Amino acid sequence: MKEPKEKLIITKKPKGEDGHRVFSVRLRDETVEKLDIIARKTNRTRNDLINTFLDYAISNAEIDTEK
């Protein structure tokens, strides 16, 4: 077998390069159970759902400056 002229060098991808940050949050057991039910029904990951729900909430949030 003939050796290729150039080697393909694959390096590790540094964390955070995908535009995401990792952090932890505390959720009630009931909330996690509800997320898991929706995840099973939609064939999505819990993480995908949380991002979808947060994006929606942020886009539709209204700040009440009267209080």
The answer to whether the CB of 50 falls within 8 A of the CB of 35 is yes
Q: What's this model's pTM, rounded to 2 decimal places?
A: 0.68
Look at residue 10 and tell me whether its pLDDT is greater than 80.
no
pLDDT value at residue 52: 93
2 band by pLDDT with thresholds 50, 70 and 90: low
Task: Give the integer Cα–Cα distance in Å for 60 and 54.
Answer: 10
Angle between helices 46-60 and 29-42 (to 10 degrees): 100
Instruction: List phi, psi (to 5°) of 56.
Output: -65, -45
